[in-house]
Amino acid sequence: MTCEISFKPYRRTFRRPLRTARGEWARREGFLLRVEQDGQVGYGEVAPIPEFGSETLAEAQTFLQHLQVQADLPVPQDLPCCAFALSSAQVGAAADAAASARTRAYPVSGLLPAGDAGLTRARQHVQAGYRNLKWKIGLAPVAQELERAGQLLDALPPGVRLRFDANAGLNPSELEQWLELLARFPQQTDYIEQPLACGQEASMARYMHDYGVPIALDESLNGDTGARFLEPGAWSGPLVVKAALMGEVGALRQRLLPVAAQVVFSSVFETGIGAESVLALADRLPDLSGPIGFDTVDAFNDTLNHLPAAAAIDTDARAAYAPEQIWNSI
């Protein structure tokens, strides 16, 4: 059995820098991976975010260079993005022609920019058919954001729900103010995501119980200690999973199967290759059903993503997936 591995770096500039409680993000960098094994070809993507507990770009590049020389080199545990990319490429290389029949469609949560621009984008997204929206918070004074949030929640038509993503940027006092507001809008509020820093999960669990507002974990799930919150019964709220940061795809599927009903897959602003790898994993989790956080495909002005910016990723859009075109465009 022969195996040849190659990789290419990419660097993408956001149309508009992404503003979160962690700061601004202007460029996305990573690597595309190509695996040719016994005449079959598969693709994967290494898209690190060290702030979420992954390896750095430099660490990934060093390993990929070694992998080109020794294709059977085991992936160290501290390189989860490399493990996800390599295992996804190997699964893709081994996939049979019936795989396309197993693909599913997924509703998408529309991503709103921070500040007043989010109010305008919310109206546009609702008109475009989105039934779930996600707004970044923790960037402006809390009183100002609460006023905007109240306006937004009041204006939502029936059946549209809103997620609030704090990126671990709130303190307990600010979180209490948010929960007081969101408790008044149970039909419009989907959840508040990672309001407090990693390590404060017990406090977030108490707040969720006391206020009755769902709290999702995101940053808490990544890194060496995050896996414990994916154990059945460990967390009662949603689990925002950035699969591309979480290691070997087969092991990740087994870990997510018992909690799949709680899982919300979230983009890491990957190319179409990484996106399809995550969607292929989602296809193998029958209980996963909620809107996914993949309203990111038009964040860049390039040809590295095949999916349209729409309220749902349907099977026709996924059928257009041509990884070799993405690979050749770099």
Binding-site positions for Mg(2+): 165, 193, 218
Tokens of residue 69, six digits: 């020389």
Task: Tell me how far apart the alpha carbons of residues 42 and 4 are, in angstroms, rounded to a whole number.
Answer: 11
Tokens of residue 179, six digits: 């929960």
C-alpha closest to that of 138 among 190, 181, 174? 174
Helix (H, G, I), strand (E, B) or coil at 16: strand
Task: Tell me how far apart the alpha carbons of residues 87 and 84 are, in angstroms, rounded to a whole number.
Answer: 5
Q: Does 242 participate in catalysis according to the annotation?
A: yes
Residues annotated within the binding site are 165, 193, 218
Which residues lie closer than 8 Å to 209 by C-beta, 6 or more apart? none
- Tabulate helix, strand, coil % of the chain (nearest 5): 40, 25, 35
Question: In angstroms, what CA-CA distances link 244 with 18, 41, 191, 328?
Answer: 19, 20, 23, 22
Task: Tell me how far apart the alpha carbons of residues 226 and 215 are, in angstroms, rounded to a whole number.
Answer: 16
HEC per residue, 56-95? CHHHHHHHHHHHHHCCCCCCCCCCHHHHHHHHHHHHHHHC
Catalytic residue among 34, 125, 134, 242: 242
Catalytic residue among 136, 163, 306, 318: 136
Task: Tell me how far apart the alpha carbons of residues 294 and 291 are, in angstroms, rounded to a whole number.
Answer: 9
DSSP-H helix ranges across 213-292: 249-256, 272-283
Task: Tell me how far apart the alpha carbons of residues 229 and 222 are, in angstroms, rounded to a whole number.
Answer: 10
Tell me the catalytic residues: 136, 242
